[in-house]
Every structure is written in C-alpha cells, then in structure tokens.
Structure 1
Amino acid sequence: MESPEPAATRRHRMVEALRHEGVRDPRVLAAMDLVPRERFVAADLADLAYEDRPLPIHADATVSAPSIVARMTEALELTGTERVLEVGTGSGYAAAVLAACAAEVVTLEYDEDLARSARDALDATGFGAVEVRHADGALGAPDRAPFDAVAVTAMAPELPPALLEQLAPGGVLVAPVGPDRDGMLLRCRAGLTEELGPVRFVALRGAQTR
C-alpha cells in the first residue's frame, strides 16, 4: 500500500532522526535531505526508502541504510572542495549524497548492470556530474588520483593498497574491513587508522579481494 505521506515529508523525518542519533555535520544533513532515496530503490520498495535499513537492489547488492551513508560521509569531513572516490556504487544513492557534499565524485562498480542503472538514476535525479565507471574498485582510479577522500562501501578483508596509494597527502579513507560481512569501519588518515564502530556490508568484489 502506498504511503499517504509525501516522500519529502518522510525524508525530513529521516534527517531529524539522523540528527537525534548524533549526525552533526550540516553539509551531510543537508545532502541527506536533498537526495531522493526512493529514486534509487525498486519501485515496489519506495515506501521503505526512508526507514533506516538496507534495501535489496540487485542480486546480492543492497543500498546501505541511511544512517550508514550519513556516518560514512560525515567521517570523510568534506568541505565541498574535495575530489572523492567511491568504491561500490550500488544503486548510486551514496554517490549522490557525496556529490552534494564535495566538488567531484568518481564512483566504481564491479557489476556492469548496477553501474548502468546507477548512471541512469543519477542522471534522472540531477546528479549527472558523478562519474560512474564499471571497474574493479579495489584497483581504484589511478588516472584520476590523487583523491582527497575515498569511501569504500563493501567489506574488504584488508584495506586495498591501491586505494591508500591514491590518497592525496592528508586525505581520508573510510572503509569497512573484516573477514566476512561483519567487520569494523575504519578511518585512515596520514598513516593513522582509527576504528569508528562495527558494521555489516556485502563483500567487496574484485581481483585483489578473492
């Protein structure tokens, strides 16, 4: 049954919940209030778009829960001037949020069908400037490096060396790391790594992660 509330109303309520849960960066909150998550999920799941839960999008892939997208974006500490690399485009939702917070976004997706559908969704929602590539995310995008920030949206057994090498001096990488779907969200900057809390993600796919 279709929700009687407009999507914008549900989106505003989601943002207020994120604020209550501790998301403080006004740039991130504004981005979450701008991006229509319902346009990045299947039509029959649109009524669930603003619940704080992951949603299936294709095969084993999911669009992350809004709180995870907000936490990861906030951890990058974006000011609006950065070039950002995202590994794991998925539906394109997190890439749109990043695009609302930074100057440039390059996003890599291992699954060609997902890359194509994400490109369509980003174009349709006004985020066509995001560069979507069908590529092995673990290898990064060396032709566009260095990046001021890197966000990895799938679980890796270890931090992919290529992504660390493509960080600009003082750049920030945020990634979930663990032996399976459950692991720890890490933030790496200037050779230092800190734990941001336990998370659950689908596995990162690519030649260097098998």
Structure 2
Amino acid sequence: METSTEHARFNMIQQQIRPWGVLDDRVLDVMGELLREAFVPDAYRGLAYADIEIPIGAESSMLAPKLVGRMLQALQVQPGDKALEIGTGTGYVAACLRNLGARVISVEIDPALAAEATARLTALKVKSVDVREADGLASAIPGGPYNVIAITGSMPTDDDLPRFQEQLAVGGRLCCFLGTEPVMQCVLVTRESKDAFRREALLETSVPPLRNVVEPETFEL
C-alpha cells in the first residue's frame, strides 16, 4: 500500500517536475526514488516534496525540486562521469548526481552543513561522494577536469564563471545561476574545445547567492 510520503514523491514528479519540461526518464527515476525527506531539516520534513526552497541554515536553502530536475536534465550525467558540485547544502543534489552514475566531489563552505551532509550520505549508504569543506570560489578544486559541474548558488555576474569553465573537460557541462534579484538565469555551459565554450540560457529563476561571491558595484546618483 502506498504511503503518504510515496504519494507526495509521486506528485512531486507528476505535478512539479514533469510540467517544468523535465522529461529525461533517468532523472525522473532518480528523483522519484531518492528519499528527499532524508535530506530536509527536521523542522521542514513535512515540506520535503513541496514546490518551495527549504531553509537549511547558514543563509542557504535547498533548491525547489523542479529546479533540481531541470539542472540534472541539462547536465546529461553519464555513468562514470566525474562531477563537481559547488554548494553541498544537505547533500541532496550530490546524491542525485551519484545515483545518475557520477563520481562526485561536493564542496561546501559552511563546516556544519558539510558535516551534516556527510552524515546523511553515510547513513543512506551513498558511496562515491566526497564532501569537502572549502570555498569553491577561492581556487580550482583538485580532482579535475570534470565532466559535470553543478553550481547550486547564484553569482551576480559571470566574472567568476571562467574559473569554473577551466575545470571542465572537453565535452563537459556546467550549470549555474547568473544575475541578481528579482530575475536570474539558469545557464548551461558546454566546453566544446580547449578554448571554445557554448552558453545556453535555460530559464529564469531566483536562488540565493554563493557565499563570498563578489557583488557588483552599484552607483548612486
């Protein structure tokens, strides 16, 4: 007999993720099977499958499920891919990447979030995810080049984008959020050759910024 949680997970797929253009069966299967509630702070467990961003502390939040789905679909994760995630949060996106077949290095600047994500992933026996406490904006993350890079916080400009693009393998895909409130773009970057990158705007949205990101200068008249 289907439980209320299983029903909520089914509704998340059918009513939130599919209508947002996520039709990749592998992505739908992974998100339909992974226990999202296991990655949500206890105070918000009842909202694990709601169409909202969930606060997780440290001025961070979990991306809404439909946004995770669009990101995963755009990244076209293949078994054996080497994936880098900037902004581990609770570990949910890292687990999705792993269940799509990637070997994952996930970087989290907040020590408490990094420790909690590691504990969750260990408890769920999610292997081949290496959570590292670090500032992903400070320098290149050892272990590259990467086939997939997922940046789960926003950057106000594309000034920081080249440092991530250079960590991509040729043929690699990067998904990030660029811009400032109230409207940002979810962007897919593909490295087509050593020196050539193709950029595609996927959708408009709004997500919290990465910590330590350089804010654009504002001018007052």
Question: Above 0.5 in TM-score?
Answer: yes
Question: Which residue pairs with 1:11 in the alignment?
Answer: 9
Letter paired with 1:201: V
1:8 Cα shift? 2.1
- 1:87-166 to structure 2, matched below 5 A, reads 87-139=86-138, 141-157=140-156, 158=158, 159-166=160-167
1:141 Cα shift? 4.7
* DSSP-derived class of the 1:27 partner: helix
The reply to whether residue 167 of structure 1 matches residue 173 of structure 2 is: no
The reply to whether residue 209 of structure 1 matches residue 208 of structure 2 is: no
Question: Which residue pairs with 2:75 in the alignment?
Answer: 76
Name which of 197, 200, 215 aligns with 1:194: 200
Q: 2:130 and 2:201 mapped to 1: Cα distance?
A: 29
The reply to whether residue 47 of structure 1 matches residue 52 of structure 2 is: no
C-alpha contact 1:62 1:90 (8 A) present in aligned 2: yes
Q: 2:72 and 2:139 mapped to 1: Cα distance?
A: 18
Q: 2:82 and 2:52 mapped to 1: Cα distance?
A: 28
Q: Where in structure 1 do 4 or more consecutive aligned residues deviate above 3 Å? A: 139-142, 179-182
C-alpha contact 2:77 2:102 (8 A) present in aligned 1: no
TM-score, with length taken from structure 1: 0.91
Q: 2:183 and 2:108 mapped to 1: Cα distance?
A: 21
Unaligned runs of 5+ in 2: 216-221
TM-score, with length taken from structure 2: 0.86
1:111 Cα shift? 0.7
1:38 Cα shift? 0.7
* DSSP-derived class of the 1:127 partner: coil
* DSSP-derived class of the 1:154 partner: strand
1:12 Cα shift? 1.9
Q: 2:7 and 2:140 mapped to 1: Cα distance?
A: 38
Q: Deviations over 1:63-100 (max 9, x none)?
A: 11100111101110122221110101111111111111
1:16 Cα shift? 2.0
Letter paired with 1:103: A
RMSD over aligned Cα atoms: 1.8
Letter paired with 2:124: T
Aligned length: 206
Question: Which residue pairs with 1:28 in the alignment?
Answer: 27
C-alpha contact 1:155 1:180 (8 A) present in aligned 2: no
* DSSP-derived class of the 2:29 partner: helix
Letter paired with 1:16: Q
C-alpha contact 1:139 1:162 (8 A) present in aligned 2: no
Unaligned runs of 5+ in 1: none
Larger Rg: 2
Over the matched positions of the two proteins, sequence identity in percent amounts to 34
Cα 1:109–1:142, aligned 2, differ >3 Å: closer, same or farther? Answer: closer
Q: 1:141 and 1:105 mapped to 2: Cα distance?
A: 15
Q: 1:192 and 1:68 mapped to 2: Cα distance?
A: 21
C-alpha contact 1:89 1:107 (8 A) present in aligned 2: yes
* DSSP-derived class of the 1:132 partner: strand
* DSSP-derived class of the 1:10 partner: helix
